[in-house]
Chain A
Amino acid sequence: MKTNFHPLRAFTLWVCLLLPLPLLGAQDFKRRAYQESQKVSSKDIALEIEFGKKLAAKIIGSNKLLAPGPLTQYVATLGAGLAAYFGRPELQYYFAVLDQKDINAYACPGGYIFVTQGAIQAMQNEAQLLGVLAHELAHVNQKHVVKALKLKSADQSITSGFAAIIGGSSSSAKVILDQLSDKAYRLLFEEGLNHRDEYEADALALQMTLSLDYDAASYIRYLKRLEPKMKQGYAKVVSQTHPALSSRVTKLRQNLAELNPERGRKTNSARFQAQVRAR
């Protein structure tokens, strides 16, 4: 196929054809079949749970847990209810309160979820607490930390063995959990996850909240309420590790508008206030 077609014309044609077209969605459609099989490896799940346990222990070691009482029981019960509907069936979820004034919540792989007492104090109702717990549950469900750390179990298959021989790789692929849990700790407390992951967790939290007939707008109002507290220095970790609140609120409002829920959903303010005061 020899032509007199000039390279510049080829470029112009390409731009003219495609420039007016809309830009669309993520690249998930590029996933190949073999990548789907990676999602359901039982070894990976076992590794995720083991890793999450180590990371949770590290968090508890550096941050005091709130002593057991009505508030911790309330958070655990609400979280367990949420996990019963939306949790991954292969995981056992744990919800705990950290005795910290700083406003934040953390999710470890394997289902270990923490919310600070400062965050709860900044809330007005149960819908807001549910939204925050749902946001953390979404991080676990979507394996955001697992993906960020590229946590994978060692592959013992024949194909992997051949690949190691041809590609010259060795056992270096084996995971060193201790080193990775340090990295995960930095991820949660200093560096933060990918902003796309945070937006995704927000969007999923909104859906979960609505599905349980709670007022999803409360979660957005909670984030709005954090803005002045952030300026006062009560949400250092959140500001360090999450996208700007204004941006999260804008995206959440767009998501909510698309879902267009009926108004008048439950907030359970009275029950929430009673539990918080009873701590």
Chain B
Amino acid sequence: MRRLLLFFLACFIPLAAFCDEGHYVNLPVGSRAASLGGAYLAISDDAAGCYYNPAGLAYASSDSISGSGNAFLQTRTLYTKAIGTQDWSRESGDLLPSFFGMTKKMGDWSYGISYAVPNASIEHQDQLFYDPIASVRLFNISLHSEDITSLGGVSLAYAFSDSFSLGVTYYLYQRKLLLQQQQYLTLSNGDTELSYSSIRRYDYGYLPKLGLQWSPWESFVTALTVSQVQITSSNFVADSSFLDQQGTSSNQRFSSVKLPKTPTQVALGVAYFPSAYWLFALDLNQYSAVENNQQIVTNLSLGAEWFLNKENAIRFGYFTNNDNRDLSRSPSPSESIDLIGYSFGYSSYAQNSSINIALTSQSGTGLAKLYSGLDTTRQMQQTSLSILLGASYQY
């Protein structure tokens, strides 16, 4: 019990615990691709191809505009016995910007312009815990966080033949991370403690993505992409203030312009088109490890598309979203949780246009080290659901 009290007196849950730096699949991009579980490398023949594999644009059947105005993303993370003996649940649900893109063909050349938000979360939370442990009467935690990665740029693809194409996408990259939290503690003897902390981080750079598509056999397409975010400027500022039960305050500021390292992503994909009514796709995405506490991560995506008739199609997907953090080598606070996802989608087609809805769900269990300086781990569970409504227009 003495040990738990120390958490509250000296080790309030640090802000770093709220940053998800471990996963590469957050917000699905493009409603059709999302409903295929993200297995889109060897398909990629519409505007979403700008993001997944620009080489696929070379085989787009026509010029098109695609958009997913906003995605609704709901996430729930539960830490078991994190606040004394009580569970701590974090929940977020918001409409987030998603994707817009257009493609145009000019003979064997195709180009595209797109805007994508592959990572976004907005969380706002106020929670009160009464008597979490014997010596603490009240613990109040209030936080607000925004973590949004935006990409915008151009793509170019060239069909060398009916079976081989190359493409490149050049995205400008921006990540905005804002976190604020206050924690207030009332001990059973009436003393109080207060902490406030904030993080602001702005990263700017670019993301080149090189892709190719190859059809070695009829009905069969393979694909490969290589990409890595290149960060050219970064500004990180962290502030923290602490008022202890004796009324002594302390303030700290840490700032850095050190450029964060980013992983190289190599992705392989295959797609099988047995008929105009069926499609199966598989992608393997591999990310290199760039920090000592990271490990190489490979994620798998599987997707199937079935046209019920010429106007209606449904899709299914399965994917993994593994964590790159090795908890045994990570200083606290840190967490590691591998997620498994499922997706379902429906499209209604008209002559020149379609509307699409995609549902994706992720869940998993893992471990979290929530408190600075302590290797104590807590069980954690995470579930999320995203709903994506999109439309495309072919002209």
Residues of A within 8 A of B (CB): 1-7, 10-11, 14, 18, 21-27, 29-38, 41, 44, 150, 152-153, 155, 157-160, 162-169, 173, 194
Contacts and interface: CB of A to CB of B under 8 A. Distances in A.
A159 B350 contact: yes
Chain A CB within 10 A, most for which of B67, B349, B351, B389: B351
A26 to B, nearest CB: 4
B352 A36 contact: no
Interface of B is mostly: strand
Contact of B268 (A14, A35, A152, A165): A14
B221 interface: yes
Nearest to B58: A27
B254 interface: no
A22 B215 CA distance: 9
A163 B389 CA distance: 10
Contacts of A34: 307, 310-311, 313, 349, 354
Given A1-B298, A36-B276, A159-B348, A164 B313 contact: no
B65 A169 contact: yes
Interface of B: 43, 45, 59, 61-63, 65-67, 69, 107, 161-164, 214-219, 221-222, 224, 226, 264, 266, 268, 273, 276-277, 279, 284, 286, 288, 295-300, 305, 307, 309-311, 313, 320, 322, 348-355, 389-393, 395
Chain A CB within 10 A, most for which of B305, B320, B353, B392: B353
Contact of B395 (A7, A10, A152, A153): A152
Contacts of A168: 67
A159 B286 contact: no
Given A24-B218, A32-B276, A33-B276, 8 more contacts: A3-B298, A7-B286, A11-B224, A27-B59, A33-B310, A34-B349, A41-B351, A168-B67
Contact of A7 (B266, B322, B351): B266
B395 to A, nearest CB: 6
A131 B66 CA distance: 43
Contacts of A31: 61, 276
A30 B310 contact: no
Nearest to B326: A2
30 contacts: A1-B322, A3-B298, A10-B266, A14-B268, A18-B214, A25-B163, A25-B215, A29-B219, A30-B61, A30-B221, A32-B305, A33-B307, A34-B310, A35-B61, A36-B276, A44-B351, A155-B352, A157-B351, A160-B350, A162-B355, A163-B354, A166-B391, A167-B65, A167-B66, A167-B67, A167-B391, A169-B65, A169-B353, A173-B395, A194-B107
